[in-house]
Structure 1
Amino acid sequence: MKIENSTSQDIEEIFRLYRLATEFQKTRFTVHWPEFDRTMVETEIAEKRQWKIIIDNQVACVWATTFDDPQIWEEKNADPAVYIHRIATNPVFRGNSLVERIVESAKEYARLHQKRFVRLDTVGNNPGLIAYYTKCGFDFLGLLKLKSTAGLPAHYDNATVSLFEIDLEGASPVVNNKEHTR
């Protein structure tokens, strides 16, 4: 298994995995991913913010990172953080703890770039996903009703998101399972 940046040769596979993830989401959740903008993904690849896990010469999983996520994290965006987005796993490799591997890689990447936090969000209040991400090492910070979603992918429109964080300096936030605004 190896983790590396995606390349332009991976774009079709990235979108295939997004489609498979969306189909899976439709069987379990009311909110699912829209079709993502190809230019957005091409930009992530060019900026080396799109990642992949390779197992047996196959793309097992993809995701994107950024150092900036102001519409979702609002004033907390000022904190030094790496944000993880759009984890999509090849169904052949489900059950291989790939998110845990992404988390370990993201922690290393955050330290390399002098970031204190590793963060991610999901749309909605999904107890199963909340339990899964906390099992992977994240603290669940609670729910946030997004104020401005202009420019975000369509699944964020009028959404409440679950916020997750790993504090690399070890301070654990208070877990809040109630919807709140910041």
Structure 2
Amino acid sequence: MKIQNSTRNDIEEIFRLYKIATDFQKTKFIVHWPEFERSLVETEIAENRQWKIVINGQIACVWAITFSDPQIWEERNNDPAIYIHRIATNPDFRGQNLVQKIVEWSKQYALANHKKFIRLDTVGDNPGLISYYTKCGFDFLGLSKLKNTEGLPAHYDNATVSLFQLGV
């Protein structure tokens, strides 16, 4: 297993995994991911903020990070943190605790970049995801109604989000 930055050559696979994740979300939840802009992923790749887990030469999982997320985290955005977004797992690798591997990687990445927190959010009040992320070590900080979603992906429009944080 290797964790490394995604490259432009991975874009089609990233979008395939997003589609699989979105199709799954549609069967379970009212809110699901929109179709993301290709330019969003291209920018993340260019800025080394799009990541992947590779197992036996295959992309097993992808996610993106940022060091700032003010529209979701508001005043807490001033804290030194990394923010994880859009974890999508290849169905061939489900059940291998890949989110836990992302958490362990994130701890080291956060420390190397002088950050004190790892944060993520999910749209809505989803007891299953709340339980899952707390099992992965995150503290559930509660629900937050977003005030300004201009420029955010469409699933954040008029949304309430569940906030999660892990100290490093």
TM-score tier after normalising by the smaller chain length: over 0.9
Alignment-mate amino acid for residue 64 of structure 2: A
Cα deviation, residue 36, structure 1: 0.2
Partner of 1:93: 93
**Aligned partners of 1:162 and 1:141: how far apart in 2?**
7
Alignment-mate amino acid for residue 38 of structure 1: R
Helix, strand or coil: the match of 2:114? coil
Cα deviation, residue 116, structure 1: 0.2
**Aligned partners of 1:7 and 1:143: how far apart in 2?**
34
Alignment-mate amino acid for residue 4 of structure 1: Q
Helix, strand or coil: the match of 1:53? strand
Partner of 1:56: 56
In structure 2, stretches of 5+ residues that fail to align are none
Alignment-mate amino acid for residue 112 of structure 2: L
Helix, strand or coil: the match of 1:40? helix
Alignment-mate amino acid for residue 23 of structure 1: D
Cα deviation, residue 147, structure 1: 0.2
> Quick check: 1:125 aligned with 2:125?
yes
Query: How many residues matched?
Result: 168
In structure 1, stretches of 5+ residues that fail to align are 169-182
Helix, strand or coil: the match of 1:82? strand
**Aligned partners of 1:44 and 1:62: how far apart in 2?**
12
Helix, strand or coil: the match of 1:150? coil
Structure-1-length-normalised TM-score: 0.92
**Aligned partners of 1:94 and 1:159: how far apart in 2?**
28
Partner of 1:162: 162
Matches within 5 A, 1:137-176: 137-168=137-168
**Aligned partners of 1:59 and 1:134: how far apart in 2?**
25
Partner of 1:71: 71
**Runs of 4+ residues over 6 Å off in structure 1:** none
Structure-2-length-normalised TM-score: 0.99
Partner of 1:110: 110
**Aligned partners of 1:108 and 1:119: how far apart in 2?**
14
**Aligned partners of 2:48 and 2:15: how far apart in 1?**
17
**Aligned partners of 2:91 and 2:152: how far apart in 1?**
26
**Aligned partners of 1:131 and 1:31: how far apart in 2?**
18
C-alpha RMSD over aligned residues: 0.4
